[in-house]
Structure 1
Amino acid sequence: MPPKNTTTLFSVPSLLISLSLLCILSLSLFFLSHTSSPSSRPQTAPLPHANSFIKVYVADLPRSLNYGLLEKYWSLQTDTRLGSESDNQIRSTHLWKQNLKYPKYPENPIIKQYSAEYWITGDLMTPEELRTASFARRVFDSGEADVIFVPFFATMSAEMQLGVGKGVFRKKEGNEDYERQREVVDFVKRSEAWKRSGGRDHVFVLTDPVAMWHVRAEISPAVLLVVDFGGWYRLDSKASSSNSSDKIQHTQVSLLKDVIVPYTHLLPRLLISENKERQTLLYFKGAKHRHRGGMVREKLWDLLVNEQGVIMEEGFPNATGKEQSIKGMRTSEFCLHPAGDTPTSCRLFDAIQSLCIPVIVSDNIELPFEGMVDYSGFSVFVAVTDALQPNWLVRHLRSYSDKQKNYFRQNMAKVQPVFMYDNGHLGGIGPVPFDGAVNHIWRKVHQKLPMIKEAIIREKRKPPEFRDLVVMIGQPVFSPC
């Protein structure tokens, strides 16, 4: 027994507590010292293990509904639409005939920006031995598939009709696009795969805002690959009543079942090693006057057009406009991205490829691959109410230091491949980049599989007459809960 005046400095319990605190402190210091700097943080989620994949069955549509549409497009004697100069040149030299089995996609920027349908289909049509980098594994029995891909070139179908008979586009009589839409829907609905799932495991590419306009209620249970929901959440501009049948139901599209995909960028990629000093603060090229949500653009234009260091150019998608955009985006620190007729446009992806920091002024924007890509690491998001305050936006952009802007551009360089479709092969037939847009799209579809399967199982228990009623009235046919 110790003497009464002896003081014990550490009892056993207090010693254990002290040691525990010391360990926690040491671990904290370790993690703080090993945390990566902002510039080294990855801006994309890691791609899945090589053994991960999604099983895709390709619906056996007639060729006339995909590559046959391209043959028909290139066989036109001429095309008077805006931006068609390059395609008319290709027609005159017969360059499109280099690969008759898989013709090239149009260069007309109005059409090319929606070319996801071409690259996704091209990947699936590539011989299997070349598809080692593809996240989608093609299967030839629909019963084995996770999803059924419907290879309808909906954008080409719509653009063909707009080019030769725009006046009947919203009508059914004399509308070849409607006839093709009807043929696609009737074909898939007759299949056993559709009957098993009610279409919930079918995948359609609808990048053009007017693609498959007449049959959207019928395909709304499916997984829709869209550039945004802007073409769905609106009334037709000519509709006089909110009760118009032209109203597209919000319930037909949802982030729960659908996938937001990138536009095809129209400007060439600028590597970070090629980046040069940028003299302009903010750049925008496009149409000033837009409808609906794009009216914000007109207000922004009036606020910014006379600001020092800001260039606002009225522009159109032709060869001259492309060269101006390349120069403008590569020599500017920031590129303005306001909403147009829809919340987004290919301008965002041109800015990324040009290493021009996007300034996104669009409160309702949907972005591709969120959860995989951290847009805050290379973009500036501005609320519409802030952007419309006089002098606010320019002051805000000038507050960013050179270090911050360099951080944005370094991160942008890392994600450039994620938004690229072109695989560099004639006709799009060849291996896709492992980290490119096509694989990221299939990864997002893969994330939907648990909910798709749950919805199919839940729907089977409902009386057939109820299911028919749901489709008929255009209410939600995909129920996640």
Structure 2
Amino acid sequence: MLLCRSGRPNTEGLSKMVYEFRQFWRLETRNLLWLIGMLIAIIFLFQYVELPNSSFQLSVFSHSKALKMGNTSFSGGNSTFISTVLSDTTSQSPLSDAFEEKDGDSGSEGDSESSFGIDEDSRPDDIISSGGLLEKDVNSTIDLVLILHNLSTTPEKAQNLEAHFSPENASSNNNASLSHIQKEDFSSAMGSNGSFSSSPKHSPPEKAENMDAGSGIPQKAENFASTPAVFTVSDMYELLMKSHLSSNSMIPRWSSAVDQDLVYVKSQIENALPMKNDQGLHAPVYRNVTLFQRSYELMEQILKVYIYKEGERPVFHGPPLEGIYASEGWFMKLLEANKHFVTKKPKKAHLFYLPFSSRNLELALYVPNSHSHKNLIEHLKNYLDKIVAKYPFWNRTAGADHFLVACHDWAPAETKHHMANCIRALCNADVNEGFVFGKDASLPETYIPKARNPLRGLGGKRPSQRQTLAFFAGRMHGYVRPILLKYWGNRDPAMKIFNTLPNSKGNKNYIQYMKSSKYCICPRGYEVNSPRVVEAIFFECVPVIISDNFVPPFLEILNWESFAIFVLEKDIPNLKKILLSIPKKTYIQMQMRVKMVQKHFLWHPKPVKYDLFHTILHSIWYNRVFQFRPRL
């Protein structure tokens, strides 16, 4: 305190000091505010010049804020994808995935407008897709910064962007990341071999996800505001071929006699010579019919599969043989009864089968309205821990020579952690949900009404007798079908697009439409897969697949664009124009090819050559052969 000579406080000096301090503080405050304003201006300028397609919100919000946003759509072109990446890379557990409640009990399979009375519409509790392209193990700060930077580039730069994340050579519990190349280069409308695609060279469709009021369920809006790139079938096949050239599968920790078998088989396939085609294989429906013949022949001669006996019914060894999840059940039933491929000596096995039913897992363990599949994942983990503790085979390859076959929509989420290194044959084969090209296989989704006769009603009318241009009937699940109904429902006599059909015994109305239509529309529901694809082939109707980034089954051998039409979701308003643009001669050729490829999509009580059982097994075998890396 300031004192005058008399010892009293100098109030005049004190007041002057306070005044000067206030003036100084006001000056500093102005300077600080000016500095903050300049920083904000610089950020906006940088955002405008350097990151024209990214969201300012994402740039200035913290990492935790972005996580809370989840899949909320931003105004930028890639912001939804970026926010998804943040969600995937920051989440501590996969168990937080939300579940969606459908009408009815979780164990029921209500009715639908499928040809057999039930399709994917009646799935009780479909998991909400995260939409992310990266597994949660991609958590490096450097990688994340590079991803965000690359995704914020212009659309022109994005066309050449590569984001290749392969399965890591790690321990048995490591995740497999998605092998992926961001592309926007689409094939021309008509290929040289007569194949047809509705995907000309243009930018990918843009979609926005909004929360359905009151439900907490993401619903993609019709305006398609933003989405990751859409991949054509040609893009997917290119990714598959790249994975074969640069396999990142783990090298076995110790050698086995079966390793030399795989080296031999790969060499024989790569150097295959033309074979006599006496099995009725129609060459145009295959990528390379010679390679397929040779690979299939070697599978029949060499492949041995060991099936683990552990696990209690019904989740294990008790598959569903009827309904929309029948693919996993029929494969399990036929393989367990097979004496040609199955061996009781695991040291002689090239592949190890984990025989569980994803459908029965849900029926047995899912708690209705819990919105959690934590206990389902834990159940599979405990099963796998038992296998790993009892046998040495998993640890030899970190699970790379093990496989599972699962058709329930939740299977990708349930298996992408503890079973990520396995070969996963999945009905829900979605590029955006961690499907790994060259490792995973797309499993055809088939509905079986009666297990005693899976081929009942097979076939359809000749092309000249198919008077309906296009047909679809089904519940309005997901975001694609309402758009389809809006544009084509009850608007054009040539386009038979319905929400529901009048009830009839055995759904005869539906079957007759399938048998007498030129094109059968196969739009996605909540997930990318639909049994309508196989239904169309079953009834010899050219399938029109409207499901962006759905990986079609048997991609490694089948030339899908030679017998099926792929329409982008954003092109639904042009659907009739696309179909009418196909020349009559091309349609007749495609319909004939549907009949030629049909053999690969049929279940037989006793398996026959090239049928669905053998073709699924071949996909798994083929992936193992080309992913295998021998010890040097």
TM-score grouping bracket, smaller chain normalisation: 0.5 to 0.7
Which of 215, 220, 225 is the matching residue for 2:420? Answer: 220
Partner residue in 2 for 1:352: 537
Partner residue in 2 for 1:332: 517
Larger radius of gyration: 2
Alpha-carbon displacement from aligned partner over 1:160-197 (angstroms, at most 9, x marks no partner): 445xx32236154xx5x456424422222222111212
Partner residue in 2 for 1:406: 588
Which of 268, 285, 292 is the matching residue for 1:43? Answer: 285
Quote the Cα distance in structure 1 between the aligned partners of 2:543 and 2:625: 34
Q: TM-score, normalised by structure 2?
A: 0.49
Distance 1:215 1:271, change over 3 A: closer
One-letter identity of the residue aligned with 1:117? E
Which of 164, 181, 197 is the matching residue for 2:397? Answer: 197
Cα shift at 1:122: 2.1
Quote the Cα distance in structure 1 between the aligned partners of 2:558 and 2:373: 40
Whether 2:617 is the aligned partner of 1:442: answer: yes
Which of 171, 181, 186 is the matching residue for 2:380? Answer: 181
Alpha-carbon displacement from aligned partner over 1:221-250 (angstroms, at most 9, x marks no partner): 1110102334x846xxxxxxxxxxxxxxx3
Whether 2:373 is the aligned partner of 1:166: answer: no
Cα shift at 1:438: 1.5
Partner residue in 2 for 1:206: 406
What secondary structure does 2:411 align onto? coil
- Contact kept in structure 2, 1:161 and 1:169, CA below 8 Å: no
- Contact kept in structure 2, 1:304 and 1:310, CA below 8 Å: yes
Q: Report the identity percentage.
A: 21
What secondary structure does 2:555 align onto? coil
Distance 1:439 1:380, change over 3 A: same
Cα shift at 1:57: 0.8
Which of 464, 467, 471 is the matching residue for 1:279? Answer: 467
Q: Which moved more, 1:376-385 or 1:411-420?
A: 376-385
Partner residue in 2 for 1:121: 332
Quote the Cα distance in structure 2 between the aligned partners of 1:423 and 1:67: 22
- Contact kept in structure 2, 1:150 and 1:203, CA below 8 Å: yes
What secondary structure does 1:168 align onto? coil
Which of 342, 345, 348 is the matching residue for 1:144? Answer: 348
Aligned residues: 337
Q: Which moved more, 1:410-419 or 1:119-128?
A: 119-128
Which of 413, 423, 428 is the matching residue for 2:604? Answer: 423
Quote the Cα distance in structure 2 between the aligned partners of 1:255 and 1:370: 10
Cα shift at 1:318: 9.0
Partner residue in 1 for 2:444: 262
Alpha-carbon displacement from aligned partner over 1:239-264 (angstroms, at most 9, x marks no partner): xxxxxxxxxxx3xx301211111111
Quote the Cα distance in structure 2 between the aligned partners of 1:330 and 1:160: 37
Alpha-carbon displacement from aligned partner over 1:268-289 (angstroms, at most 9, x marks no partner): 4533677771221111111224
What secondary structure does 1:189 align onto? helix
Q: Which moved more, 1:378-387 or 1:55-64?
A: 378-387
Distance 1:354 1:312, change over 3 A: same
What secondary structure does 1:325 align onto? helix
One-letter identity of the residue aligned with 1:200? A
Distance 1:301 1:212, change over 3 A: closer
Which of 502, 506, 528 is the matching residue for 1:343? Answer: 528
- Contact kept in structure 2, 1:279 and 1:331, CA below 8 Å: yes
Quote the Cα distance in structure 2 between the aligned partners of 1:184 and 1:117: 18
What secondary structure does 2:496 align onto? strand
Partner residue in 1 for 2:32: none
Quote the Cα distance in structure 1 between the aligned partners of 2:570 and 2:515: 28
Gaps of 5+ in 1: 1-38, 71-104, 132-136, 235-249, 425-430, 459-481
Quote the Cα distance in structure 2 between the aligned partners of 1:443 and 1:194: 21
One-letter identity of the residue aligned with 2:308? A
Quote the Cα distance in structure 2 between the aligned partners of 1:202 and 1:448: 11
What secondary structure does 2:417 align onto? helix
Partner residue in 1 for 2:134: none
1:60-75 superposed matches below 5 A: 60-66=309-315, 69=318
One-letter identity of the residue aligned with 1:202? H
One-letter identity of the residue aligned with 1:304? W
Distance 1:259 1:323, change over 3 A: same
Whether 2:573 is the aligned partner of 1:385: answer: no
Quote the Cα distance in structure 2 between the aligned partners of 1:218 and 1:178: 9
- Contact kept in structure 1, 2:353 and 2:403, CA below 8 Å: yes
Which of 286, 295, 299 is the matching residue for 2:483? Answer: 299
Quote the Cα distance in structure 2 between the aligned partners of 1:317 and 1:119: 31
One-letter identity of the residue aligned with 1:62? G
Q: Which moved more, 1:376-385 or 1:145-154?
A: 376-385
Alpha-carbon displacement from aligned partner over 1:134-177 (angstroms, at most 9, x marks no partner): xxx21222222111111112222213445xx32236154xx5x4
Which of 55, 61, 86 is the matching residue for 2:304? Answer: 55
Quote the Cα distance in structure 2 between the aligned partners of 1:344 and 1:355: 19
Cα shift at 1:365: 1.6
Distance 1:447 1:181, change over 3 A: same
Alpha-carbon displacement from aligned partner over 1:455-479 (angstroms, at most 9, x marks no partner): x859xxxxxxxxxxxxxxxxxxxxx
Structure with bigger helix share is 1
Relative contact order (alpha carbons < 8 A, sep ≥ 6): 1 or 2 greater? Answer: 1
Distance 1:66 1:434, change over 3 A: farther
Partner residue in 2 for 1:18: none
Distance 1:309 1:160, change over 3 A: farther
- Contact kept in structure 1, 2:556 and 2:619, CA below 8 Å: no
Cα shift at 1:113: 2.1
Gaps of 5+ in 2: 1-280, 450-455
Quote the Cα distance in structure 2 between the aligned partners of 1:387 and 1:226: 27
Quote the Cα distance in structure 2 between the aligned partners of 1:343 and 1:440: 21
- Contact kept in structure 1, 2:304 and 2:348, CA below 8 Å: yes
Q: TM-score, normalised by structure 1?
A: 0.63
Alpha-carbon displacement from aligned partner over 1:53-94 (angstroms, at most 9, x marks no partner): 422111122342556646xxxxxxxxxxxxxxxxxxxxxxxx
Quote the Cα distance in structure 2 between the aligned partners of 1:396 and 1:213: 35
